[in-house]
Structure 1
Amino acid sequence: MNCLTMDSQRSAQDLLECHLCETSIPNLYCDICDIHLCKTCVGEHLSDESTKHNVVAFKKRNCTIYNYPRCPKHSSKRCELHCKLCDIPICVQCVSSAEHDLHKKIEITKRFEIKKSVLHRDLQELETSINPKFENMLSCILVQKTDLNKHSQEVTAAINRHGEELHKEIDTIIQKLKSELSEMDSKYLDVLNKQKDNITRTISEIKQSIADLKQIVDSHDISLVSSFKSRNAEFRSLPPKLTFVLPSFTPQHIKKEQLYQQFGSLSAPSIKTEEQVYTLDSPGAERSWIIKDIKTTYDYYERLHSVSCLSEEEVWTSGTDAIMRLYNLQGQLVKSILTKSGNGPNDIAVTRSGNLVYIDSIDRTLNIVKQEEIQTVIELRGWRPLNVCSISNDELLVVMLSDDDKQTKVVRYSGTTEKQSIQYNDKGQSLYSSGDIKFISENNNLDICVSDNKAHAVVVVNQAGKLRFTYTGPPSTSEVSFKPYGITTDSQSQILSADQYNNRIHILDQDGQFLRYIDNLYLYYPWGLCVDINDDIFVAECYRGHVKKIKYNM
């Protein structure tokens, strides 16, 4: 509530008079009628029963919950009703004039609350839906620029390699092709920069709209709230999504006399503009939104693969380099640990007691970090470990591949002791493919869930190792086949699996029935997954190096 300060109140009071008797020091104030009163005149003012009154101490003026607006037609009156047909505030004199007799009316305080709820919805949509969409599109533009630069470097390298085979005679042609490639890159960059500038400008406008809305939402000025015009409809018009077909270099085996004609050429570039449609969730539909977007030091070259929750505030990460890093939700690096061998960890997990476990596939070891000291727990022969998850009693489930790359199994360890091996179904057939991209998680019902990338499936067995079901995607056929990467489970025994090439996450129930996707957040190559104690999911974006914390259960 916007009350005046004591000093300004005293200063104003020294200059004002009672509106009824002109006493120089009015002690009271009617918030409804907006007049100053002395104690002597209060009774006379309250005797006017044609309108409501709210007399308060002078220093508490303008602090009423509702600041009723003045009537547009009768300036001395305050409006307590709103005419729905005319869409204007009306006072008791307007009502008595019969002008609005056949019109529907609503208490102005009720309309105020309705309008405030609309503003709250607009604010929520801007903060949780529209602005994140634009932020993520901006992030994708930056990744596309990185990819464009990398692709350009690869094409340039191919041109150079072919040019070296033909020595100095083809230097001129090489330079010409490089120049053409540079021009193509420039055109791509012009398009990307224009798109980036448009999105950046829109984000700035959205943030300004959010700031304005927050100020209005906190206001009790009905006139200001009523006059607000929403821009959400304008912001729902998303910019087109850009898809590039980048040039490639095709070398030719040539004769010197036909050097120029046979050297090779760049394929014609193209830019595809794909319209994006903004959609609102239907009533009752489950929604997902990003709580935090953590930028790590991983990038396109040092790729981010695994993420594991230490708590709801901190997550361990690992990628293609040899350093495992602990980040908080503010994106600050809390701790980093170098692997014992200097090899990149294949996977990581956090035990129930809070210790970090990692797989070293090259050394064929499973290691645990206790008080920043690394202990090798398991050393394998004939098999190499791929992925790991921690389960109850600090036991570990490890996916491993035979040295000849032909067999895959899941082994349960308690400390250094192998307690169980899961490899075949009841017919003696392999449960898992021989590929080396697999993630593992245990459900609350003690089912063991493995994402089998090569098999295009999530394979789930019970605690005894008996096959329960195999999930290969929802009933409707997707444009790109299901190739699962990271997998995790939550307190409701739902199974979540990263579908990297479709940039989304599949959510299944504990019996393998498809529930829905998380696909409205512009995820970019989701790889590793983990769920915290609040059932919020952390998603590791492989090529961008971001970890997103997402609320998905409503």
Structure 2
Amino acid sequence: MSEPSDEQAAMQHYLVCGTEDCQKNGQFYCNACHRPLCEHCRDEHVKIPDTKFHEIVLYRHRKQQLPVEKCKLHPTRNVDIFCKECKIPLCSKCSTMEEHHGHTFDDLEDIYAEKYVLWQGEFSKIQKYFLPTTQRLKTDIEEDATQIRKIMESLRTSMKAEVKSLKHLVDEVTSENLEHIYTMENSLLEMLKSQETTYDDYIAYLGKMSDEFQQYLSLTNQKLLFSETLKIKTIPETTKPILPVFTGGKVSKDDISKLLGRVNVPNKEPEKREIQPMEAVNTHMKSTEKQLEQSKEKSDMKQTLCLSSSVTKVREYSVPGVFSAYHESADKSGRLWVSDRGGNLVQTDLQGNQLQKIQTSGGEEGYHTATQDGDLIYTDKDKRVIYRITPDKKITEFIKTGDWTPLSVHFSRINEGILVGMIKDGKAKITRYSKAGKEIQNIQIDKQGQELYSTPHHITENTNGNICTSDHGKQAVVVVNKSGQHRFFYTGQGSVFSPYGICTDVLGHILMCNRISNTIHLLDQDGGFLTIIRSSQQSIKCPRGVCVDDENNLYVGQRDTNTVTVYKYLQ
């Protein structure tokens, strides 16, 4: 297939058909030829006698291609079959050798695809059953610990009420009983702490297994799919604590101990924590996946939204009150927030009319984000505070970040949480907050203990839950999954790469500005490069900020001008 011209490269931003000289969208895939096909080339493919029986599927349903491995006996041949008797992979020429005479063979690519799916299934079990179930059990322990504390405090209150009128008679006994309660409480909490440690160790084990499964799924380790045995240790069992009860005593000077009573643990077997069987989880998962697939099929039938073959300018307008457009946030009301490097933050309507303006400590970072409720959330680097602006223009303090300086912020459309990129003393992290502002997750290092971030200037979240960060210091886009596990780095296409504004769209594409080449890069959700949008005819010059609204319009802000240009790039 010939290389596309600069003009073609500037306009195409989709997976290109694998047919020579065809530049259309390769939305289908031939599993036999292992290449994408557009709709027209797919129809032609099945008309050719040599390829009419090839299996053609949607690109997302494609079969994994067998990794290339040269035969040791025949270096010009690839290993592509499997001898069932000898249980070894071979090339086609090996199958004609005398030692394999009369043996039966399987297609190694079919076996590889089957094993790939099998290992993906095991990895999915960790993500969808073992980790969530274990984390739920750990949460159960934390709730029990909270309940223990509440009950113990209630017991103390009851005892103090009993002895108030007779305190001069029962001080000594009260002191002994209170000490007994504290000792019992510590013992129970130590037991629960031990159970937490058990599940911490098991979670660490699952993390290690997850890493191993991912290694097995990689193309370079495909041999391990045939040599390793799938086995995941069962979840450790723990027991719930038996809660103490208070037995009141009789009011008598001679029987102080009976009067005050004692705290005892009921003599019964501890109740085992419930571990939901994997079968029940799988049934729910399959039901959910089926519903999602049916929903997706209906959505696909209703509208076939895909990348357009060209980028069309919808409109452009100047934003009063800013000197440049370094970051944009579109809200559901059809209004837009734009900021420049001088800390000016302005809200406009779609005609560019200024609705409100505030002065912030922000600069070139993506320091503001619109919520589904019509609020705007923005960071204050100097005060280390995150503020919220409501539609009635009321500004309130939302989150304090302590000694960490907040740079970038993003509102999650998936769980309505808040993602914040922060720095402190040469370190950087991404912190997830709940909708109410409670800190619930910190992402800072990878599995090898290496720092993931340096300067997280812009941040966004993809449709699959991946957190995508534009990091100036790393000169890369850093992508982790929703659990904070590193997925990939994107460092451009050979030239110097310095990412700025970043966003995602409804199809899971990742779009980001490159400050050095003044271009917009377009990736798929797994980091696969699709194209660069860089047509001067489209007036895309010095892009710094990008965002996509609910109508799938792409907003592009530029350096040294307050003009925001809106493009249609999906159809």
Q: TM-score, normalised by structure 1?
A: 0.45
TM-score by length of 2: 0.43
Q: Greater CA radius of gyration, 1 or 2?
A: 1
